């Protein structure tokens, strides 16, 4: 069966627990139940527990923004996926901000993906090239290395539910998203990697998102790209009006493709 579209909000390190509750309340009211769109919210660790009681569960699920790859132990300051497994369905893994500011390397991302799967959490694996890598024609190599390493501990069964997000680093926090043609080339290449690793069946069961400066006016153009199943949204997801409009845009795009 064709999976529903997926829209993921990444709230990064922006909202206090109180502000998170206020935003959830507004989204509970603003967003209708769309059967063809799954909406996932990613508050900070601190807000996951209260958010799990505040979200309208007919409309929303939760994701962790990160996690540590060990399940338990003497790792001061860390939060493991096993500690979050009752709270979240998903976890964002390998976001470019983690790679850049926290020096996360390919192996660490691989271990986090494996830890998510081990704990029954679906990883949303973010991949994407920097501006310099694009200018030097390294986009395909970067996407290949990020995907192949991250998935190297997963069986095809593990990989079936996987979510990949194409997040070109140069389009995050930018004025506008990548152009649909650029997204199409990258997403085709990402899907090809998954096909090479696990075959056609797994490739068609995974969902691929686009992330980077999504706003309501760009949604239909991006969702028209073949192989794109949804969006990962940063800034615009902090505004309940804009995020609500993005969700509706994805719903309408899905209807028009049916």
- The CB-of-223 to ligand PEP minimum distance in angstroms stands at 15
Helices (H), ranges, the chain: 17-30, 45-54, 81-84, 96-101, 106-118, 131-135, 139-150, 156-159, 180-198, 200-205, 219-223, 240-257
Active site residues: 95, 167
Nearer to ligand PEP, 91 or 203 (CB): 91
Rounded to a whole number of angstroms, the minimum distance from the CB of residue 237 to ligand PEP is 7
Least distance in Å: CB of 199 to ligand PEP? 29
Nearer to ligand PEP, 172 or 194 (CB): 172
Stretch that binds ligand PEP, among 66-74, 154-162, 207-215, 221-229 (CB under 6 A): 207-215
CB 123 within 8 A of CB 117: yes
Cα 43 from Cα 13, distance rounded (Å): 8
Per CB under 6 A, does 213 bind ligand PEP?
yes
Helix (H, G, I), strand (E, B) or coil at 64: strand
Only segment of 141-149, 194-202, 231-239, 240-248 that touches ligand PEP (CB under 6 A) = 231-239
Is residue 63 within 8 Å of residue 88, measured between CB atoms? yes
Q: What is the number of residues in the chain?
A: 258
Nearer to ligand PEP, 126 or 198 (CB): 126
Q: CA angle, 157 as apex, 222 and 40 as ends, to 5°? A: 40
User: In the bound complex, what is the minimum distance in angstroms from residue 233's beta carbon to ligand PEP?
Assistant: 5
Give the nearer residue to ligand PEP in terms of CB position, either 15 or 158: 15
* Residue 98 CB neighbour total at 10 angstroms: 18
Which residues are within 8 A (CB) of 138 and not within 5 positions of it... i.e. 6 or more apart?
129
Per CB under 6 A, contacts with ligand PEP among 147-206 are 167, 172-173
Cβ pair 228, 222 in contact under 8 A: yes
- Binding ligand PEP by CB under 6 A: which of 17, 140, 235, 252? 235
**Residue in 48, 233, 247, 250 binding ligand PEP, rule: CB under 6 A:** 233
Residue ranges that bind ligand PEP, judged by CB under 6 A: 10, 167, 172-173, 211-214, 232-236
């Amino acid at each position: 069966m064709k999976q529903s579209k997926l829209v993921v909000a990444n709230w990064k390190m922006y909202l206090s627990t109180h502000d998170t509750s206020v935003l959830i309340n507004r989204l509970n009211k603003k967003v209708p139940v769309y059967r063809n769109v799954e909406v996932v919210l990613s508050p900070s660790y601190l807000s996951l527990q209260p958010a799990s009681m505040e979200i309208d569960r007919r409309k929303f699920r939760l994701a962790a923004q990160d996690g540590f790859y060990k399940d338990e132990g003497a790792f001061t300051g860390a939060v493991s996926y096993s500690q979050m497994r009752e709270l979240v369905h998903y976890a964002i893994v390998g976001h470019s901000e983690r790679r850049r500011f926290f020096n996360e390397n390919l192996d660490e991302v691989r271990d986090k993906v494996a830890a998510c799967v081990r704990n029954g959490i679906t990883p949303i694996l973010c991949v994407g090239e920097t501006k310099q890598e694009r200018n030097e024609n390294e986009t395909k190599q970067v996407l290949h290395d990020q995907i192949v390493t991250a998935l190297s501990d997963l069986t095809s069964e593990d990989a079936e539910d996987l979510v990949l997000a194409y997040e070109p680093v140069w389009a995050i926090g930018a004025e506008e998203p990548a152009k649909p043609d650029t997204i199409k080339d990258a997403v085709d290449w990402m899907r090809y990697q998954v096909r090479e690793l696990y075959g056609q069946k797994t490739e068609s069961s995974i969902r691929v998102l686009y992330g980077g400066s999504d706003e309501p006016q760009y949604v239909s153009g991006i969702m028209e790209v073949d192989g794109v199943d949804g969006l990962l949204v940063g800034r615009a997801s902090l505004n309940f009006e804009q995020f609500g409009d993005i969700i509706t845009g994805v719903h309408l795009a899905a209807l028009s493709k049916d």
